[in-house]
Amino acid sequence: MSLLSSIPVAFVALLHVYILVLEMFLWTTPRGLKAFGLKPDFAEKTKTLAANQGLYNGFLAAGLIWGLVHPVPEFAEQIELFFLGLVGVAGIYGGLTAKPKIFFIQTVPAGIASLAVLFG
């Protein structure tokens, strides 16, 4: 695994850890409200749903980290590509159903990281 491919994969993993924190722990705080453009009453009513979303983002991050630390390079690449694919699909779905900027926040970095893994 080259450093050139590990950096973008690590970036996507850290991004999803950050999203986990925002959704699970900061949803109703000023930071969470600003990040997601929410009103306090809506955030309060949806914090359990947001925590569930955050947990799934954590699963994506965990899979990417697993790929980064796996000792067998060929299998590590497969793990990374699988989880980057999931991130990409989630970004497409979020971009179509929630906010178009989700596509650029999730799918574009996942695509760049996938290319780095494939050609790095």
- Tens digit of pLDDT for each residue in 45-55? 999 999 999 99
2 pLDDT band (50/70/90 cuts)?
confident
User: What is the total count of domains within the chain?
Assistant: 1
Calpha distance 94→80 (Å, rounded): 21
pLDDT above 80 (res 35):
yes
- pLDDT value of position 10: 98
pLDDT above 90 (res 120):
no
Q: What range defines the domain where residue 46 resides?
A: 3-119
- pLDDT tens digits, one per residue of 5-22: 999 999 999 999 999 999
Calpha distance 12→7 (Å, rounded): 9
Supply the pTM of this predicted model: 0.94
In the predicted model, what is the mean pLDDT of the chain?
A: 96
pLDDT above 90 (res 116):
yes
- pLDDT value of position 3: 86
51-72: average pLDDT: 98
- pLDDT value of position 1: 63
20 in the Ramachandran plot: left (φ > 0), alpha (ψ -120 to 50) or beta?
alpha
